[in-house]
Chain A
Amino acid sequence: MNHNNGQKHVPKTTGHAWDGDLQEYNNPVPKWWLVAFYISVAAAVIYWFLYPAWPVGGSYTKGFDTITYVNDKGETKTTHWNTRALLMKETNEAVAAQKPYYTKVANTPFEKVTLDPELNSFVVSAGKQLFSDNCAACHQQGGAGKVGFAPNLTDDDWLYGGKFVNIQHTIIGGRHGYMPPFAEVLNDQQIKQLSDYVLSLSKIVVDPASAQAGNALFHSETAACYYCHGDNAKGRQEIGSANLTDRIWLWANVPGANTIADKEAAVQSVIRKGLNRGVMPAWQDRLSADQIKLLTVYVHELGGGK
């Protein structure tokens, strides 16, 4: 095959020959490419003068370009161009643009934030971003939570209270759910009776006699469940104990169990092993007070804020 078919110009060779007859074409790069190359070399020289470039002893040439920014103390500073100063400038410009909203959120009582349409739309859009970055890993996108791991934030059931101040308190300091294990305190029959009682509270049909015995046990000093879950089994928000009467399940996956036996087993497992999990990290060191307030309103608005 001849590649030069139909071409007027036959390129020269470099004149070298290897292995007797192996030759090499000499195709210089196009002129436009060469010009662009020299322009980029010239640009590099200009760059050296504008930006940090050459190491000199224990330092380097800083360049003539500058950045002026305002720091968090309100001082205006000018420095040679560098990415950290550029970030300060861009951040401060963005913060300045958001500041009227943040200030307004900070100075407005919780209840009124939701009533102001402009403020509310700011909370929803900024809150959604904060929630996705920080909360969604456990509470899932949208806040529906995960049975066996993290509570649903869109229903109106709250372990630690669903008022603005409760939610804010939870975000600031985090939470650590705890229930002692009862495997060594109660026998298998007692644990079954308790699980039947707990299921009966959610209107799940179980052996009534067993549930009745569980009821007595629940309120006895032997099991003393009422201590934390309350006489009415509705839980106590000041210690985060669960409401057992609302058909909402966090640790025992009762909705996911098909048979009554499986539902009993799910509840019994929690009674036996107790819980030393449900750890929510504290966010006070990671998020600002303004961001936490904004998130509080956002979470409150997810569905079930009280």
Chain B
Amino acid sequence: MFNFKHEWIETNVGLLLVLTMLAISIGGLVEIAPLFFIKDTVEKVEGVHPYSPLEQRGRDIFQREGCYLCHSQMIRPFRDEALRYGHYSLAAESQYDHPFQWGSKRTGPDLARVGKKYSNEWQVAHLNNPKSMVPQSVMPNYPWLLKTELDYSDMTDRMMALRAVGVPYSLNKEEYESNVKRFGAEEAKMLNIADARKNLIAQAQENNYDGDNSSITEMDALVAYLQVLGTMVDFRKYDDDEFVKYR
């Protein structure tokens, strides 16, 4: 008869390591892996598209500055959150996020639907010195964003990397045509890797996020990103219980 002894594991570091990893990964596998196979995980909804080059660069700065340490981007389906932040976040809305910024730590408010809620000027003034806008804020100042020119020399590489993990930035005519079908002609042009720098400059010039069109700063990129958050889906087009059926 097979006689199991704890001692085998406890006195064998290699075996202990393998079995520990196995035990821990079961939790992750059971909770996460099935979501890739369940059809309803990502809701069918119109309007969600990958970020434009400028917004994507802003997203990089969002991560570089560690904004996610205090701000989540995930409105949960609870009434108090709906009242404060708006419609709960859909899985579809973060399908092109790599990595996603959901988070569960909120020192500051959730940002999943902060887009268009405040003016560009407010965002600029607030990022520069949050207490000037919200006296009780504990958010630190980010004065260098306005002073630092945006480095977009490697924009195409960044988009290529995202393309490699499945974001539909287009590299050839075929992919471009498929984007036209999926997102419309105007959006498809924004997603063309060859035009990345041209598009980035054009968006920054047209919207002048930081109020100074003489140069493109990191502030331009970050505000462009903040202003698009949560604005892609037009919820007026859907019944208020449209997304219940996906859960």
Q: Which stretch from B35-43, B97-105, B155-163, B185-193 is at the chain A interface?
A: B35-43
Interface string of A67-82 (1 = CB under 8 A from B): 0010111000101001
Set of chain A residues within 8 Å of B78, measured between Cβ atoms: 83, 87
Complexed CA–CA distance, A294 and B21 (Å): 57
Set of chain B residues within 8 Å of A134, measured between Cβ atoms: 117
**Interface residue A277 (Cβ < 8 Å from any Cβ of B):** yes
**Interface residue A18 (Cβ < 8 Å from any Cβ of B):** yes
A280 touches B239 (CB 8 A): no
Set of chain B residues within 8 Å of A77, measured between Cβ atoms: 241, 244
**Interface residue A270 (Cβ < 8 Å from any Cβ of B):** no
Set of chain B residues within 8 Å of A71, measured between Cβ atoms: 239-241
**Interface residue B121 (Cβ < 8 Å from any Cβ of A):** yes
Tell me whether A84 and B118 are in contact in the complex, defined as CB-CB below 8 angstroms, given that A71-B240, A138-B133 are known contacts: no
A72 touches B241 (CB 8 A): yes
Interface residues of A in 47-95 (CB under 8 A from B): 52, 55, 57-60, 69, 71-73, 77, 79, 82-88, 90-91, 94
- Which residue in B6, B37, B77, B121 is a CB contact (below 8 Å) of A87? B77
A-B contact count (CB 8 A): 94
Q: In the complex, which range does the number of interface residues on chain A fall in?
A: 35 or more
- Which residue in B82, B133, B241, B243 is a CB contact (below 8 Å) of A137? B133
Which A residue's beta carbon lies closest to that of B31? A55
Set of chain A residues within 8 Å of B211, measured between Cβ atoms: 277
Set of chain B residues within 8 Å of A173, measured between Cβ atoms: none
Most chain A C-beta atoms within 10 Å of own C-beta, residue among B76, B79, B236:
B79
**Interface residue B247 (Cβ < 8 Å from any Cβ of A):** yes
**Interface residue A133 (Cβ < 8 Å from any Cβ of B):** yes
Interface residues of B in 120-140 (CB under 8 A from A): 120-122, 125-126, 132-135
Complexed CA–CA distance, A84 and B84 (Å): 17
Interface residues of B in 25-54 (CB under 8 A from A): 34, 37-40
Interface string of B168-210 (1 = CB under 8 A from A): 0000000000000000000000000000000000000000000
A133 touches B120 (CB 8 A): no
Tell me whether A280 and B38 are in contact in the complex, defined as CB-CB below 8 angstroms, given that A77-B241, A84-B243, A91-B79 are known contacts: no
Complexed CA–CA distance, A286 and B231 (Å): 10
Interface residues of A in 126-150 (CB under 8 A from B): 129, 133-134, 137-138, 140, 146, 149
Tell me whether A84 and B88 are in contact in the complex, defined as CB-CB below 8 angstroms, given that A58-B37, A285-B236 are known contacts: yes
**Interface residue B65 (Cβ < 8 Å from any Cβ of A):** no
Per DSSP, chain A at the interface is: mixed
**Interface residue A16 (Cβ < 8 Å from any Cβ of B):** yes
**Interface residue B119 (Cβ < 8 Å from any Cβ of A):** yes
Residue count of chain B within 8 Å CB distance of chain A: 41
Which B residue's beta carbon lies closest to that of A72? B240
Tell me whether A88 and B11 are in contact in the complex, defined as CB-CB below 8 angstroms, given that A58-B37, A137-B118 are known contacts: no
Interface string of B204-247 (1 = CB under 8 A from A): 00000001000000000000000000000000100111011111
**Interface residue A279 (Cβ < 8 Å from any Cβ of B):** yes
Tell me whether A281 and B244 are in contact in the complex, defined as CB-CB below 8 angstroms, given that A55-B38, A60-B34, A149-B125 are known contacts: no
- Which residue in A55, A57, A79, A286 is a CB contact (below 8 Å) of B244? A79
Which B residue's beta carbon lies closest to that of A138? B122
A16 touches B122 (CB 8 A): no
- Which residue in B7, B86, B247 is a CB contact (below 8 Å) of A82? B247
Set of chain B residues within 8 Å of A137, measured between Cβ atoms: 118, 122, 126, 133-134
Tell me whether A286 and B34 are in contact in the complex, defined as CB-CB below 8 angstroms, given that A82-B247, A85-B244, A134-B117 are known contacts: no
List 15 other contacts, CB 8 Å, given A18-B11, A85-B241, A277-B211. Answer: A58-B37, A71-B239, A71-B240, A72-B240, A72-B241, A79-B244, A83-B78, A83-B247, A85-B247, A138-B118, A146-B132, A149-B122, A279-B120, A281-B117, A286-B117
Q: What are 21 residue pairs bridging A and B, where the CB atoms are less than 8 Å apart in the complex?
A: A16-B10, A58-B37, A58-B38, A59-B38, A59-B40, A72-B240, A85-B247, A87-B78, A87-B79, A94-B79, A137-B133, A138-B119, A138-B122, A138-B133, A140-B135, A149-B133, A277-B211, A281-B116, A281-B118, A285-B236, A286-B116
